[in-house]
Amino acid sequence: MNPLHKFGKQAIFSYLVIWFVGSLWMMAVLGSGSYQQKVMGVDFALYHEYASFGFAGALGGALYGLRMFHEHYQELTTQWIYWYLMRPVLCFGSAIITIILFESGIMLLQVADSMSARISIAFLTGYGYGKFMEKLRDLTTTFFNGKNTNGTNGNGGGGSGGDTPK
């Protein structure tokens, strides 16, 4: 029996709604500054901004997941369960990394240096996770396989890419 027939679709929907509402709630809690405890050794007073970016990314990922769930409800098969379960989690992490890449100057974007601008970027990273991964792939290709001035490929050798064994 297909696990999606009985309660699978309701479970996926509930999971995404919990991530969506939970992310909004956690962003409000972190934004209020009322949560000043350590969780698993992490001091939230130091990292509450990054946690807010992560939850903004998870919010975007959950919203996109809910949209896809709605659009493809009839075609939903078990092969997509992993995609729906991992989407908010992956978007949480990628949103934080996006903000770090922008703050470091590796990725350039002309936006105001405000909390709301960074949360917006984090949300868009979560919502457009697939496009973000394409850009990240392009960035790593440029950094690690790009050509330099002496005609080599930048990895110390003259011919093969950095990911191929010799």
Closest CA to 88 of 21, 155, 148: 21
Task: Provide the residue type at 142 as one letter.
Answer: T
d(CA 53, CA 98): 9
| pLDDT at residue 4 in the model | 62
Q: Which pTM does this prediction carry?
A: 0.76
d(CA 47, CA 121): 18
Sign of the CA dihedral running 78, 132, 114, 93: positive
In 3-state terms, what secondary structure has residue 77?
coil
Q: What is the mean pLDDT of each run of 10 residues along the chain (166 residues)?
A: 68 92 89 75 79 94 92 80 91 92 77 83 92 87 68 47 42
For the chain, the structural domain boundaries read 3-145
Q: What's the token pair of residue 120?
A: 């917006």
Question: In the chain, which ranges are continuous DSSP H helix?
Answer: 3, 9-32, 44-71, 81-104, 115-127, 129-145
d(CA 97, CA 164): 26
Other CB atoms within a 10 A radius of the CB of residue 121 amount to 20
